């Protein structure tokens, strides 16, 4: 009995979010620490994009999920994991340096894959956070567009770990950057920002991809995750 109740709530949460967000905004289910049956429940309820943070966890989960969905990587990219990442994922959302972009490019060349990526913007200018500084994003994208095996499709940002309304300026800044880059690079169409507590503010500020975990699955138990 308990299992049925638990599963239907994932389903209700996904359907509820899908009914609330505008039709031009895509839902990405942030699935770190969640198991295959939880992810499949979200997919059966209409989720089409799944985000994973850890390569090891993704290796355990992705081959078991039979439904065809898009898999996005939203964690920190480690160079020694790139070979696995490029076979597992359809999009890498957290490219923040030319060094990492080149490493992805050379590995993609070997397997003949063209990788879709987003550029992670360090919108809070936090030294401990990954992502490129907003003023350096255009140069970085220009350099990455020289690489044969990467396709920059948009921007992603986290923003500082603060309340949802306080995140608004960081989303606004990223949207302004997105608009200016969109004019210069026609392939740029995706703006990934907003999580469980902030997706409404993010959509308000122009996000068209929101990454939601807790509001779908409930609080995370990190002892179940890997990484």
Q: Which residues bind ligand PLP (CB under 6 A)?
A: 30, 32, 53, 74, 158, 195-196, 211-215
Q: Which two tokens stand for residue 204?
A: 């308000």
Cβ atoms 50, 212 nearer than 8 A: no
What angle is formed at CA 28 by the lines to CA 160 and CA 226, rounded to 5 degrees?
Answer: 75
Give the shortest CB-33-to-ligand PLP separation in angstroms: 9
Nearest to 212 by CA among 31, 19, 35, 59: 31
Cβ atoms 10, 216 nearer than 8 A: yes
Which residue, judged by CB position, is nearest to ligand PLP in the bound state? 213
Give the shortest CB-146-to-ligand PLP separation in angstroms: 27
Nearer of residues 30 and 101 to ligand PLP, judged by Cβ:
30
Nearer of residues 28 and 40 to ligand PLP, judged by Cβ:
28
Nearest to 71 by CA among 30, 121, 42: 30
Give the shortest CB-161-to-ligand PLP separation in angstroms: 10
Nearer of residues 147 and 201 to ligand PLP, judged by Cβ:
201
Beta bridge partners of 49: 28, 70
Helices (H), the chain: 2-20, 36-44, 55-61, 82-88, 98-111, 137-144, 168-184, 199-204, 214-217
Give the shortest CB-120-to-ligand PLP separation in angstroms: 9
Give the shortest CB-50-to-ligand PLP separation in angstroms: 12
Nearer of residues 53 and 122 to ligand PLP, judged by Cβ:
53
Nearer of residues 59 and 145 to ligand PLP, judged by Cβ:
59
């Amino acid at each position: 009995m308990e299992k049925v109740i638990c599963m239907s709530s994932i389903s209700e949460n996904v359907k509820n979010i899908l009914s609330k967000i505008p039709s031009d905004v895509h839902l990405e289910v942030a699935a770190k620490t969640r198991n295959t049956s939880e992810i499949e429940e979200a997919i059966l309820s209409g989720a089409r994009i799944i985000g994973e943070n850890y390569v090891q966890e993704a290796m355990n989960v992705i081959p078991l999920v039979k439904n065809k969905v898009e898999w996005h990587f939203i964690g920190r990219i480690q160079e020694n994991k790139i070979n696995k990442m490029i076979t597992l994922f359809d999009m890498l959302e957290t490219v923040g340096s030319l060094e990492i972009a080149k490493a992805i490019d050379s590995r993609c060349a070997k397997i003949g894959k063209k990788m879709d990526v987003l550029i992670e913007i360090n919108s809070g200018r936090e030294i401990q956070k990954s992502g490129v500084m907003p003023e350096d994003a255009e140069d970085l994208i220009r350099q990455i567009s020289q690489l044969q095996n990467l396709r920059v499709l948009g921007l992603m940002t986290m923003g500082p770990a603060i309340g949802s309304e306080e995140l608004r300026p960081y989303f606004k800044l990223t949207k302004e950057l997105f608009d200016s880059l969109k004019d210069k690079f026609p392939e740029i169409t995706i703006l990934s920002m907003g999580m469980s507590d902030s997706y409404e503010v993010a959509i308000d500020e122009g996000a068209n991809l929101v990454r939601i975990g807790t509001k779908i699955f409930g609080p995370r138990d990190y002892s179940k995750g890997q990484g």
